[in-house]
Amino acid sequence: MDAGPMADGAQRWPGQVTERTLADGRPILYFDDEATAGPVHETADDRPLLEAPRAGEVRYDVLTGEWVTIAGHRMNRTFLPSAADCPLDPTVDPARPTEVPDSGYDVAVFANRFPSFAPLTAGPVEGAPAVPFGPPDAPAYGHCDVVVFSSDHDAAVVDLPAARMRTIVEAWAQRTAAHSADPGVAEVFVFENSGQEIGVTLTHPHGQVYAYPVVAPRTGQLLEQARRHREATGGNLLADVLAAEQAEGTRVVLAGEHFTAYVPRAARWPVEVHLAPHRDVPDLAALDDAERAELAEVYQELLRRVNRFHPGVDQVPYISGWHQAPTGAERDLGRLHLQLFSLLRAPGKLKYLAGSESGMGAWINDTTPERIAERLREVAS
């Protein structure tokens, strides 16, 4: 399926989307910065792959009320391959095929070959003993997309051309919309891990999209707090938090026409900043053209500031995650916002999640949110 350029308009994305199929039936979508006439990305995937991969199961932890995904098939997934064997590079030599069959692309999105969640599932095991407490085990149904930001193996998101960042935003929004329409999906999470300190297993610039079959624990906590806030005040918690940060101003990092970035009052990480739209929107798919255009600019500016945070450090490892409203019940309590953070507390020193954080979930921050915000303002472009 080929999708042509979008309608004209000053803020409209000028690119196009092309959908193809990999050898095992997984979908791959190419997002081009600019629309072109005629067929594109027609190179077939000729690898001798078997059927599309299957995911495992989810099990309920009766001690915490959280679902845990059992994905034993991921133990042998690709781990830090050489640049010559990178599966995210374009296929330039048919004798060394990658996950992207074409020899060139702007942004490519495909279903993960080692998914935590997938439309095809292997569990739970038939005839397994009944679960003694709580709900029964369930298939890990869902979707796991890999979003490859560039065909350049050594590129960094912060340095990509503005047009490419705009295309990435479009890919995020499109995949959010597609997976949110699946009745088996409860929540869609768009994220990027950058840096081996974070646990990155492929250094090629990329992010991921997870479509969960159940609401994730952090979202569940947020919804509970939002429900209490609405009962007490009648307001939307995330919107009211943004308004309070804007009014106080102490922790605001930057403000645009459509977005404001601020350090949360109870920041957990040595570097942390949230980005929220001024308009109440549930997810990336709900952003209009002007908001998507500004988001592309603001996001790269935040990455530039994070990279300058520690003197002498050129690339700060980070995790960037878009929290979106659940697709079903209590969707009105959610609101789109970005959480961008780093565990690098000083050059060469990481914040380890040791006893208190990992064992008890009791967070201790070695700096103050106000200092974080002040530093992120100091290093503005």
Q: Are residues 188 and 82 in the same domain?
A: yes
Amino acid at 216: A
Q: Are residues 192 and 91 in the same domain?
A: yes
Q: Are residues 122 and 70 in the same domain?
A: yes
What is the rounded average pLDDT of the residues 115-125?
86
Which residue among 180, 210, 240 closes a domain? 210
| pLDDT tens column, 154-185 | 999 999 999 999 999 999 999 999 999 999 99
Q: Are residues 362 and 308 in the same domain?
A: yes
Q: Are residues 162 and 292 in the same domain?
A: no
Q: Encoding tokens for residue 192?
A: 């990027």
The catalytically annotated residue of 41, 179, 204, 206 is 206
Q: Encoding tokens for residue 190?
A: 């768009």
11 in a domain, yes or no? no
2 in a domain, yes or no? no
If one counts the domains in the chain, the total is 2
Q: Are residues 30 and 172 in the same domain?
A: yes
d(CA 309, CA 315): 10
267 in a domain, yes or no? yes
| pLDDT tens column, 202-255 | 899 999 999 999 999 999 999 999 999 999 999 999 999 999 999 999 999 999
345 in a domain, yes or no? yes
Look at residue 75 and tell me whether its pLDDT is greater than 70. no
Percent of the chain surpassing pLDDT 90: 83
The CA dihedral of 221, 241, 190, 319, to the nearest 10 degrees, is -90
Q: Are residues 24 and 149 in the same domain?
A: yes
CATH of the domain at 271: 3.30.428.10
Q: Are residues 43 and 167 in the same domain?
A: yes
Which residue among 188, 210, 232 closes a domain? 210
The pLDDT score that the predictor gives to residue 201 is 84
Which residue among 190, 210, 230 closes a domain? 210
Q: Are residues 164 and 267 in the same domain?
A: no
3 in a domain, yes or no? no
7 in a domain, yes or no? no
Q: Are residues 163 and 232 in the same domain?
A: no
Query: In which band, very low, low, confident or very high, does the pLDDT at 6 lie, cut at 50, 70 and 90?
Result: very low
Active site residue 206: yes
Q: Are residues 143 and 264 in the same domain?
A: no
> Are the CB atoms for 54 and 140 separated by under 8 Å?
no
Predicted structure pTM score: 0.94
Q: Are residues 235 and 361 in the same domain?
A: yes
Biggest alpha carbon–alpha carbon distance for the chain = 64
5 in a domain, yes or no? no
8 in a domain, yes or no? no
| pLDDT tens column, 346-358 | 999 999 998 999 9
For residue 63, what are the domain limits? Answer: 16-126+135-210
